[in-house]
């Protein structure tokens, strides 16, 4: 499986909007990725393993493990 995920996928799994994830990455609030500004556009990088470790969500199943 790919080691990166899209902003849209992360937002869907977290139950929030893509814009919320983008803003949190820009402001360095979420520790599982980063935003890079190039001229007037941003590029967003989210690492799947860091996302899963931080949120406890299995991105392959789209849910938190049963033991939580």
The first and second tokens of residue 57, run together, are 């969500």
pLDDT tens digits, 42-60: 999 999 999 999 999 999 8
Task: Locate the domains of the chain by residue range.
Answer: 4-55
User: Given this model, what pLDDT does residue 64 score?
Assistant: 65
The first and second tokens of residue 63, run together, are 């849910």
User: What's the chain look like in SS3?
Assistant: CCCEECHHHHHHHHCCCHHHHHHHHHCCCCCCEEEEEECCEEEEEEEHHHHHHHHCCECCCCECCCCC
Give residue 31's pLDDT band: very low, low, confident or very high (50, 70, 90): very high
């Amino acid at each position: 499986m790919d080691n990166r995920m899209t902003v849209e996928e992360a937002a869907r799994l977290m139950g929030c909007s893509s814009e919320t994830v983008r803003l949190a990455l820009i402001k360095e609030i979420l520790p599982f990725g980063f935003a890079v500004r190039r001229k007037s556009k941003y590029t967003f990088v989210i690492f799947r393993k860091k996302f899963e470790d931080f949120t406890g969500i299995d991105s392959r199943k789209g849910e938190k493990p049963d033991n939580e």
